Amino acid sequence: MSKPNSPTRRGFLDFLIAACSAITTAALAIPGVLYLWPAAKGGGSQKVEVEGAKSMAIGQSKTVQVGSLAVIVVKQRSGFCAFSAVCTHLGCLVKWDTGKKQFLCPCHAAAFDEKGKVVSGPPPAPLVEVSVKEVGDKIFVSTA
């Protein structure tokens, strides 16, 4: 017979199950919360200079990291444009093809035109445009 307030095997197993349940719940909930509130992981507005942008040739691109987002900056005749490099289908990273003047996604052979609109393939939406600003002789991209 066990004494009151003394640890029992059943009490220890109840504690172990509760602790495992709490850890599992936290492991599932934290990524969900960070997905729903990107600012909680520092995903707020950020501004990054595009190094060497002024020396880019027309049609040339550069990929820069703005916070957690990969951004493709393309120098076009009309000026610089920038889009999220994340394909709107399943999230693969697109690349700029200078010859075709298109953003190409290697995962499911999608193509986006130079304005980010879907030309072919399964993406349901255009690429997300990113703000580009020219300040003096520097180019900045920023996410809102």
Give the footprint of ligand FES on this chain (CB under 6 A): 87, 89-90, 92, 105, 107-108, 110, 121-123
Q: At its nearest, how many Å lie between ligand FES and the CB of residue 127?
A: 10
Nearer residue to ligand FES within complex by CB, 69 or 110: 110
Nearer residue to ligand FES within complex by CB, 70 or 107: 107
Strand order in the sheet with 95-97: 95-97, 102-105, 110-112, 118-120
d(CA 110, CA 124): 11
**What distances in angstroms separate CA 8 from CA 2, 20, 22, 35, 70, one per listed residue?**
8, 18, 21, 41, 54
- For residue 51 the two structure tokens come to 């190094």
Residues in the chain, overall count: 144
Nearer residue to ligand FES within complex by CB, 89 or 95: 89
Cβ distance 121 to 108 under 8 Å?
Answer: yes
Question: Under 8 Å CB-to-CB from 77, ≥6 apart: which residues?
Answer: 58
Q: At its nearest, how many Å lie between ligand FES and the CB of residue 114?
A: 17
Nearer residue to ligand FES within complex by CB, 13 or 109: 109
Q: At its nearest, how many Å lie between ligand FES and the CB of residue 104?
A: 9
Q: At its nearest, how many Å lie between ligand FES and the CB of residue 75?
A: 24
